[in-house]
Amino acid sequence: MSEHRSLLGSRQDVRLYIIEPHRLVVDALRHVYGQDASIATVGDSPSINAGELAVLRPDVIVLDIDGLTMPIEAAIDACESASPQSRVCVLSAQHRTRVMQRALSAKAAAYIVKDTSPATMIEIVHSIARGDYYADPRLAGAMLRRRSTRSSEASELSGREFEIVRLIADGLSNREIGNRLSLSEKTVKNHVSHILAKLKVNARSGVAVYAVRNGIVN
């Protein structure tokens, strides 16, 4: 519910490329993304095809890491080297915080678990095409609840702000956070603005990703 709502925003045409070894999954992904007329799947491959990526130059690469024969970091780097303007969206069946952390630390723009709803998968593609980031809120929230404060930016967060960061990572809207913490929606909005400034990110969707990449979480 709130996971989907938090990603809503203006849409633009997006060129998409799928890296997936299983034909049935490729067809399923094409069907999902084909429901949105502003997303064009320009190609797919069972493995990383650097030559094709360099020619097609997609906006977003959906990379299924479950069948990879190379480390996650190497796969993401290969995609970015072949098509530097592309943003990599990692897809996996693994509900493991460590796997998500590795993917996001390797500069993937998003980590999607395969049980994510089709509507949310579509919104995530639009979100990262606009320059935002996405971390599965179920995993990100769990990581932040076990957080440490190793980065200098994170050490500047107040206890209340850290509490709000955890709820943002859980996918809650400002109104839902206010209800949870008995704060007005305006107060929560002000806290979120301060958090974005302290963490030096431009959108709330980048808060959990920043936390993972910069050692705020274990």
**Cα gap 55→33, rounded to integer Å:** 21
Encoding tokens for residue 88? 């990599």
| pLDDT attached to residue 105 | 85
| pLDDT attached to residue 163 | 80
Phi and psi at 64, nearest 5°, equal -80, 115
Question: What fold, for 2-135?
Answer: Rossmann fold (3.40.50)
What pTM does this model have? 0.69
Going from N- to C-terminal start, the domains of the chain cover 2-135, 140-213
Phi and psi at 172, nearest 5°, equal -80, 145
**Kind of pairing, strands 60-64 and 87-92?**
parallel
| pLDDT attached to residue 208 | 75
Q: Each residue's pLDDT tens digit in the chain (218 positions)?
A: 344 444 444 567 999 999 999 999 999 999 999 999 999 999 999 999 999 999 999 999 999 999 888 999 999 999 999 999 999 999 999 888 889 888 988 889 999 999 999 999 999 999 899 888 888 877 876 665 555 444 555 557 777 887 888 788 777 889 999 999 999 999 999 999 888 888 877 777 778 777 667 655 44
**Cα gap 180→126, rounded to integer Å:** 29
Q: Which CATH architecture has domain 140-213?
A: Orthogonal Bundle (1.10)
